[in-house]
Chains A and B, each alone.
Chain A
């Protein structure tokens, strides 16, 4: 799952830029990797790939702002849906 998320972020927000590396814990906002329209793309991607529907009040950095947070959030949502 981490690889899929990383690939999506690399392809869509960094366009494969050299030198823009980030760890699984790095804040996507602080690293200036994601912005408002990027979050919309991320939400659509989570729905299409993991069938995770992000609710309005879940649009929080706690859920979405790093690879590890995303993994945790997706797992939590998937469990709740199961």
Chain B
């Protein structure tokens, strides 16, 4: 089975059902399937071959979903890019995966147009450009393609098999450069089936998703609903909470995926103004939800099941806490999801028992194939497993388990910062800071934050005589980094604390920052 068959099967059995709601638009499974077929033919006509990469650089929208399934139908590999990504990171990913096509909108196209010169890109598809416009060389508009009667709306012949790549998911790594997590059709299908299993999703579910589709947790909401023939309501963000809550009520949403930033914002509001009687479950992932949030949500919505979950891009999801365990083990991220094995190992790779902290290792069909063209990083994450030739995922996350096998997150092994549920590599932010004239030394750390989980903080030692302001630093960062990576706090110092070996003493910086909070 291939991932696009989630859509195709639902289009066959429930073609007239509303699959996707975005803004004022409501599309059925059959409508989406036909459009994706035509777009897939157009991708092939533009010269896209099996396994070629298609970058999708769009806000949460109908077009983003069409682009995903059209790419899969064309036998190609989609690469979702965060819509706030700036030209540098975009160019890095474009060249790293040697993208053959880009799907974006007119405004974003302007901002990355120059990156495409001399690149591997054969065609650019504009999702919002309207029809009949002279779009220039290699540039097509969705509207023109969808109106093109010479392109078939029947599915193109299958070109890939289930162990081929479905997507590359770029994620921040401790070395600074984003890594492309290779997810096959089989990986994604295995993960989706396991999650559907424990969430007990059915075709009656309506999931309201505000998380970006560039974030695996957001993207899988679409996969899961399309698999069961449910409905996804796509929103761009949680920026205006009352509008989202109104939407949850109006669409009678049954599922609402959250990150702790959302629960922090929600719990500042008087939620009794909204009727959540149809809501069946809330999920939390990205970062641990504070116990206080869980307790308050449970009190406000006693009928709603709350699932604490943990995962990482490299295998999508690892654990979930069954809602009936939340009182007994509120601090736990739960047990392994169905069809997965995991264990905790010490530094020598030996399995450890309950109560002992070690690295979590995950085994299952959902584990990635590796990092795109990064063999060393791949060998570090994927190491020999129990079966000959098998490789299992070393998560880089430290855990301990209780006697019944429920897992408790302890810390990450590297210095990655989790903010708003997304990973930020301090190194990536520091590299951008060092490009700012006047910065002699820069160190980036995470500091506790009630809303963000961790907030990104930049500590800077200016060059002698340089007059740097916080505003200049933030402006520079906002021009070069994805929005969630831009520091919340900037501190200037005369000198940086160092360790005995001369490295920046980040631990000392973090401890000082904590004392200030």
Residues of A within 8 A of B (CB): 11, 14-17, 29-30, 32, 34-40, 56-61, 64-65
Cα–Cα distance between A40 and B268 once the two chains are bound (Å): 10
In the complex, B138 has a CB within 8 A of chain A: no
Q: In chain B between 191 and 244, which residues have their CB closer than 8 angstroms to a CB of chain A?
A: 236-243
Question: What are the residues of chain B within 8 A of A57 when measuring CB–CB?
Answer: 242, 273
List which B76-105 residues lie within 8 A (CB) of chain A: 83-84
Asked whether, in the complex, the Cβ of B269 is within 8 Å of the Cβ of A56, the reply is yes
Instruction: For B261, give the chain A residue with the smallest CB separation.
Output: A36
Interface membership of chain B positions 124-160, coded 1 if the CB is closer than 8 angstroms to chain A and 0 otherwise: 0000000000000000000000000000000000000
Per the 8 Å Cβ criterion, residues 244-269 of B in contact with A are: 246, 261-262, 265, 269
Determine if B239 and A11 form an interchain contact, defined as CB atoms under 8 angstroms apart.
no
Looking at B237, B238, B262, the one whose CB has the most chain A CB atoms below 10 A away is B237
A14 cross-chain contacts in B, Cβ below 8 A: 475, 478
Interface residue from B83, B262, B475 paired with A32 (Cβ < 8 Å): B83
The answer to the question of B479 belonging to the interface, with a C-beta cut-off of 8 Å to chain A, is yes
Tell which of B239, B478, B483 touches A15, judged by Cβ atoms closer than 8 Å: B478
Q: How far is the CB of A48 from chain B (nearest CB, A)?
A: 17
User: Is there a chain A Cβ closer than 8 Å to B452's Cβ?
Assistant: yes
Contact A59 B478 (CB under 8 A): no
Q: Min CB distance, A25 to chain B, in Å?
A: 16
- B451's partner among A15, A37, A58 (CB-CB below 8 A) is A37
A30 to B239, CA, bound (A): 11
Taking a contact as CB atoms under 8 Å apart, the answer to whether B242 and A60 are in contact is yes
Verify A56–B242 contact, CB threshold 8 A: yes
| Cβ contacts under 8 Å, A29 to chain B | 236-237, 239-240
A and B contact pairs by CB, cutoff 8 A, 15 listed? A14-B478, A15-B475, A16-B475, A30-B236, A35-B483, A36-B237, A36-B241, A36-B265, A39-B240, A40-B451, A56-B269, A59-B269, A60-B240, A60-B243, A61-B240
Q: Using known A-B contacts A16-B471, A32-B83, determine if residue A59 contacts B237 with beta carbons closer than 8 Å.
A: no
B254-295 CB contact bits vs A (8 Å, 1 = yes)?
000000011001000110010000000000000000000000
B265, A65: Cβ atoms closer than 8 Å:
no
- Interface check B297, CB cutoff 8 A: no
| Chain B interfacial positions (CB closer than 8 Å to A) | 59, 83-84, 236-243, 246, 261-262, 265, 269-270, 273, 451-452, 471, 474-475, 478-479, 483
**Residues of A contacting B273 in the complex (Cβ-Cβ under 8 angstroms):** 56-57
Contacts of B236 in A (CB 8 A): 29-30
- In the docked arrangement, what's the CA distance between A37 and B475, Å? 17
Q: A15-B471, A56-B269, A56-B270 in contact; A36/B239 too (CB < 8 A)?
A: yes
Q: How far does the alpha carbon of A59 sit from the alpha carbon of B236 in the complex, in Å?
A: 15
Selected from A30, A36, A61, A64, the residue in CB contact (under 8 A) with B238 is: A36
Q: Which 6 A-B pairs have the closest CB atoms?
A: A15-B475, A59-B242, A56-B269, A15-B474, A60-B243, A59-B241
Q: A11 near B471 (CB under 8 angstroms)?
A: yes
Residue of B239, B243, B270, B475 near A35 (CB, 8 A) is B239
Give complex CA distance A69, B261 in Å: 26
Chain B CB within 10 A, most for which of A29, A30, A40, A57: A57
Closest to B477 in A: A15
Q: Which of A16, A38, A58 is the one whose CB lies under 8 Å from B239? A: A38
- A80, chain B: closest CB distance, angstroms: 18
When C-beta atoms are compared, the residue in chain B nearest to A64 turns out to be B240
Would A59 and B243 count as touching, CB distance under 8 A? yes
Q: Could you say which residues of chain B place their CB within 8 Å of the CB of A56?
A: 241-242, 269-270, 273
**Shortest beta-carbon distance from B190 to chain A in Å:** 32
| Complex alpha-carbon distance, A15 and B481, angstroms | 14
Cα(A79)–Cα(B509), bound, Å: 49
Residues of A within 8 A of B478 (CB): 14-15, 17
Shortest Cβ gap from B451 to chain A (Å): 6
Q: Which B-chain residue is minimally distant from A16 (CB atoms)?
A: B475
**Cβ A39 vs Cβ B474 within 8 A:** no
Assembly CA distance A32 to B475 (angstroms): 15
B239 touches A39 (CB 8 A): yes
Which residues from chain B contact A60 at a C-beta distance below 8 Å?
240, 242-243, 246
Interfacial chain B residues near A11, Cβ < 8 Å: 471
A34, B239: Cβ atoms closer than 8 Å: yes
